[in-house]
Chains A and B, each alone.
Chain A
Amino acid sequence: MKYLDEYRDPELAGKLFDEIRETGKHHWTMMEVCGGQTHSIIRNGIDQLLPDTVELIHGPGCPVCVTPLETIDRALAIASSPDVIFCSFGDMLRVPGSEKDLFRVKSEGGDVRIVYSPLDALKVAGENPEKEVVFFGIGFETTAPANAMAVFQAKQLEIANFSMLVSHVLVPPALEAIMSSPSSRVQAFLAAGHVCSVMGYWQYEPLVEKYRVPIVITGFEPLDVLEGIRRVVVQLEEGRAEVENAYERAVLREGNLPAQRMLKDVFTVCERTWRGIGSIANSGWELSDKYREFDAAHRFTVTDIKTQESPLCRSGEVLQGLIKPNQCQAFGTVCTPRKPLGATMVSNEGACAAYYRYGRFAEVESANT
């Protein structure tokens, strides 16, 4: 159990908890769709300190976790090829493919490198003209402008030995898929602040109207999350469903326009499979025709990929908020961050990894006893 004095501003946190308790007369279920928020909620015990009337379910907010298994297997095959330098963000290296992960490929002699920015991968390509340099371009809308710039630069500077394995995912179509699922219990969303820093939040307005579901944009620091929850509860109690920006210091309604222009040039919308969830129409970005020559999926023909998920892993249900990680039989026993069975156990932003890291081995009976 966490205590309020672990908060940086315990007094303000306490006030927010009180307000949430006093405002919430009914039981409400809301989903956060940002791995940073999930991490923050579990780390700070927000879910345990909230009154019983507020239930948080953890959505598919971690891009590492939803990158499709087939794409991971493809990445593993490309990274294992001779004369390839495979560059990736660090948290992709432990994501389990059907048979192994990128760390294994590296230990078997593959040239796999962790980079901080996609521009670093472009630099590697410039320095190694005799090699094919492939960057694993994953992420939500927040990461997409960076990946787009690397491809744009590669074209401008004619860096022909650079390519990108693109598996971008988009938040609004995923929210729509969750809302239209008959098993959904979600009554409101906390939307990811930095996705909105790039894209703005006008895209959420039609969703709010169609599904009568409040969407509050917020950051991932504990006080931001609490303020987001408070505003959601107020809306639900008043019977309102609106898009509300609780992260004004970093988000404008229209988002970052220069970034959006670049995204429009480099990417086109496509159907995308989300690991554990399935295919969602219009929920991804792939390289546009103009940049197709930099698409690693076209440059490297990888055949006979036979994907095989661990039969024990229930990350699909975790990602859709149908079960909590510690309700999975494998949780903490055969599945740990060191030996993950599913992608949600890999990244700190994955729900299973957050539960493991902060010792959530059993469901807590009640937060207020």
Chain B
Amino acid sequence: MCLGIPGKITEVYDQQGIAMGKIDFDGIQKEVCLAYLPDIEVGDYAIVHVGFAITKLDEQAAQETLDLFREIGSLEEELGD
């Protein structure tokens, strides 16, 4: 449960007063809370932990991490799918 995974923000919206969004982890879509990254925009990359974006990340670094997760097969495991 402890890992943080990078993903790309594809949607930003408000839900009951909280900034939420959709995030794409290399093809797997999830809802994500964006309240802790108020400046984040569609197209940005962020590290997501238990459904919350905790820090921004540049695109290249994010893609490299995702490739690695795919390789070791821990992406699905971490996302609970």
Interface residues of A (CB under 8 A from B): 8, 34-36, 43, 62-64, 89-91, 114-120, 139-140, 142-143, 145-146, 149, 153, 156-157, 194, 197-198, 220-221, 249-252, 256, 258-259, 262, 347-349
B65 within 8 A of A: yes
Inter-chain CA distance A114–B54, complex, in Å, is 22
Given A35-B2, A62-B2, A349-B2, A145:B54 Cβ within 8 A: yes
Decide if B67 touches A91 in the complex (CB within 8 Å): no
**Which residues from chain A contact B55 at a C-beta distance below 8 Å?**
194, 197-198, 250-252, 256
Decide if B47 touches A258 in the complex (CB within 8 Å): no
Q: Choose among A156, A256, A347, A349 the residue with the greatest number of B CB atoms under 10 Å from its CB.
A: A256
Chain B positions 40-80 with a Cβ under 8 Å from a chain A Cβ: 47, 49-52, 54-55, 57-58, 61, 65, 67-68, 71-72, 74, 77, 79-80
**Which residues from chain B contact A262 at a C-beta distance below 8 Å?**
35-36
**Which residues from chain A contact B58 at a C-beta distance below 8 Å?**
249
Given A91-B1, A249-B58, A349-B2, A119:B36 Cβ within 8 A: no
A-B contact pairs, 9 of them (CB 8 A): A43-B72, A63-B2, A117-B33, A139-B1, A145-B52, A146-B49, A249-B61, A258-B35, A349-B2
Residue of A nearest to B3 (CB): A36
Query: What's the nearest-Cβ distance from chain B to residue A222, in Å?
Result: 8
Decide if B36 touches A142 in the complex (CB within 8 Å): no
Inter-chain CA distance A143–B64, complex, in Å, is 23
Q: Chain B, 26-45, contact with A by CB distance < 8 Å: what is the 0/1 string?
A: 00001001011110000000
The one of B4, B38, B68 that contacts A142, using a Cβ cutoff of 8 Å: B4
Inter-chain CA distance A221–B4, complex, in Å, is 11
Decide if A120 touches B51 in the complex (CB within 8 Å): yes
Decide if B50 touches A89 in the complex (CB within 8 Å): yes
Given A63-B2, A156-B17, A142:B80 Cβ within 8 A: no
Query: What's the nearest-Cβ distance from chain A to residue B39, in Å?
Result: 10
Query: What's the nearest-Cβ distance from chain B to residue A221, in Å?
Result: 6
**Which residues from chain B contact A120 at a C-beta distance below 8 Å?**
51
The one of B2, B36, B80 that contacts A36, using a Cβ cutoff of 8 Å: B2
**Which residues from chain B contact A149 at a C-beta distance below 8 Å?**
18, 33, 35, 52
Decide if A259 touches B18 in the complex (CB within 8 Å): no
Given A116-B80, A119-B33, A146:B2 Cβ within 8 A: no
Inter-chain CA distance A354–B65, complex, in Å, is 20
**Which residues from chain A contact B74 at a C-beta distance below 8 Å?**
348
Decide if A153 touches B18 in the complex (CB within 8 Å): yes
Decide if B57 touches A250 in the complex (CB within 8 Å): yes
Decide if A256 touches B80 in the complex (CB within 8 Å): no
Decide if B52 touches A221 in the complex (CB within 8 Å): no
